Structure 1
């Protein structure tokens, strides 16, 4: 069986690692020119779903590398007032609606640098990962799948997996009935070097998984730490791996988020702003707050700020297909209010990987495996979409989810 994965994001790479580890024939096609072609974001929070998926997918030494370069924060989501004084500290599994991890005895939380995690997931995939490959469309029949790329490449296989994010080309053809909605929320992301963050933030902001302050408008300042136990550039060598990760420094990720009206009337104009202009906008958005909070974005790294528009999938019934499926944001894109998007994508990858291994062993037919995967994946995936929208409405003034 030849498996084609469209998209070299975290979910697609996790699946590729799992399939390759089990001796399966897999190829990954990524539209970007290279692995660092565009900003991918900073801090990610991984819970038991994400951590266990990575452990199950990676070779043992690469999982050790993952652990060596992951932050072990205190397992709290913390709420502050606009003067950065403590209001409430939630156990994060309570906040994120992952109490079932506690019940199963698997609860664990890490903060990871997205770029470092992606480097680790790409390790050993050089021979099967192809860049500058933007899918145009596919053709599917009972004999297999043919993927047509904009550069003229034509690739044949037995199964096509759309792991190509919220703007998924695969989804638009596989499930044209699927819709995204504008959540009505926007955000400016940046980061603050750890030594500078210590000067402007309380210690619990450096210790907990995530800390947020908000005002009556539901405008939020959120922060989360990345403190490497071992520097990425030396971690691989300490494990005897012939691999060098890119140099990184400790930092605190920073987000200023709220209703789109706070960011101007035209997203197109905001997208044109430079990082410095976005940083200044973030400073101005908090200008009415006490100086303790309004000084936080001013401490950010120059050149680190970027703008995002928050969209959400609208849950729907995914019709079965015999050799095309989806995972991660390509099917259940969600707003980041629960911090679960990456975890659900990683959970998808392992669930689908297990089904495909059953097919390779002759224990199941492909069409049945895909149906079983999609039934379970859409149930838990769209539940998290709903929970994320509920929390986003409560905290950010996000528009209620359209059903």
Structure 2
């Protein structure tokens, strides 16, 4: 089988590795150059789903490169109030049901990309190939690129990101929704004076959330970068209509000053995190999401990753879900049978877990941006109850499914 993959992102390359290792003929068409600018990111936390997909798709050499270029990270989600008093901790490590290969890891996007390219034969990835569309023929799929070239295959996988033009052809009318929420993100180097003002739980690599009594929500996580030292990434979530102006039109300094004003009466260390952030790292990110995915008829064109289930970053699982897609599609294709049956198997499974992820990330985003004091107070009360009563904690923080 000849498989064409539009997009050399994480999901597309993971699929290419898995299919090549299984003996498929794979061609990846990527619009950027090999050394071109990659999507902006501070790093990725690989959870059990992502690690399981990578372990199953990657041969030994790229798998080892991934392990060598990443670091173990605590699999904990902490909630604090604005004075850094603990509200609750979701400790996924306490369940002890994740295999040793699947523990949560932190990796830079560039390092993960290099691991995913390791060992692929020359010519597998064709750079500077902007896919403009495709034609279904009696012999399969013919893909048309902006440079005038065409490429033929039996299956086309659209892995071309959240603004996928192939999605518009395959599933016209399926579009992302704007949630009316804008995140302001920033990155700050963790200097010794700054570290002295923060509890260790905020800088150990786990996920931290500050849930204030008033509007807004602050997300934080730390990263180690060999070239630039240790830094903390934060993201402030707030409803678009509560900013002083359109946040996407505000300057970087104005965005930082707005978050600084919102956190002025918080714990001094949190406020200083914001005021110490260089404006060159500040960005406004409107939150958009795909709606729940309804069934469609399978064909010789399918989709994975952000091209089909782009979600908000508020659950931290977008990249991991794309990697899971790659493994799920690989498994379906290797299983054999008529092509559309294999595609249907993948798409049915993908819609199930993707809709759960979409719902979770959207729910988290809306909870973070709520301006209602009553629901915010109720949520903080539930978190405190969960930390105090094990039965409540098991209910709101159920154990993750085992993966080995």
Q: How do 1:187-336 residues align onto structure 2 when only pairs under 5 Å count? A: 187-195=183-191, 198-227=195-224, 231=226, 247=227, 249-266=229-246, 268-270=248-250, 273-274=251-252, 278-301=255-278, 303-336=280-313
Q: Verify the 8 A CA contact 2:131 2:144 in the aligned structure 1.
A: yes
1:182 equivalenced with 2:178 (yes/no): yes
Q: Verify the 8 A CA contact 1:146 1:154 in the aligned structure 2.
A: yes
State the shift of 1:291 in Å: 2.6
Normalised by the length of structure 1, the TM-score is 0.83
State the shift of 1:92 in Å: 4.3
1:303-358 deviation per Cα after TM superposition (whole angstroms, max 9, x unaligned) = 33322111111113231232100011111111122211111111110110122223
Query: Which residue of 303, 324, 348 maps to 1:375?
Result: 348
1:153-204 deviation per Cα after TM superposition (whole angstroms, max 9, x unaligned) = 2222211101112111111111113231112221122222243652443211
1:211-269 deviation per Cα after TM superposition (whole angstroms, max 9, x unaligned) = 111323441222112236xx5xxxxxxxxxxxxxxx56432222122212344543552
Distance in 2 (alpha carbons) for counterparts of 1:140 and 1:163: 18
Q: Verify the 8 A CA contact 1:71 1:226 in the aligned structure 2.
A: no
Call closer, same or farther: CA 1:337–1:102 in 2, change over 3 Å: farther
Q: Verify the 8 A CA contact 1:45 1:209 in the aligned structure 2.
A: no
Distance in 2 (alpha carbons) for counterparts of 1:10 and 1:221: 27
Distance in 1 (alpha carbons) for counterparts of 2:195 and 2:61: 33
Normalised by the length of structure 2, the TM-score is 0.82
Q: How do 1:383-402 residues align onto structure 2 when only pairs under 5 Å count? A: 383-397=356-370
Point out where structure 2 has 5 or more consecutive residues left out of the alignment: 372-404
1:9-31 deviation per Cα after TM superposition (whole angstroms, max 9, x unaligned) = 11111111111222321111222
Aligned Cα root-mean-square deviation (Å): 2.7
Query: Which residue of 129, 134, 156 maps to 2:130?
Result: 134
Q: Verify the 8 A CA contact 1:175 1:318 in the aligned structure 2.
A: no
Residue of structure 1 equivalent to 2:149: 153
Q: Verify the 8 A CA contact 1:6 1:160 in the aligned structure 2.
A: yes
1:337 equivalenced with 2:337 (yes/no): no
| SS of the residue 1:138 aligns to | strand
Q: Verify the 8 A CA contact 2:46 2:105 in the aligned structure 1.
A: yes
Residue of structure 2 equivalent to 1:18: 18
Point out where structure 1 has 5 or more consecutive residues left out of the alignment: 232-246, 399-403
Call closer, same or farther: CA 1:354–1:73 in 2, change over 3 Å: same
Q: How do 1:350-361 residues align onto structure 2 when only pairs under 5 Å count? A: 350-358=327-335
Q: How many aligned positions are there?
A: 369
Bigger CA radius of gyration: 2
Q: Verify the 8 A CA contact 2:5 2:156 in the aligned structure 1.
A: yes
Call closer, same or farther: CA 1:249–1:119 in 2, change over 3 Å: farther
1:60 equivalenced with 2:57 (yes/no): no
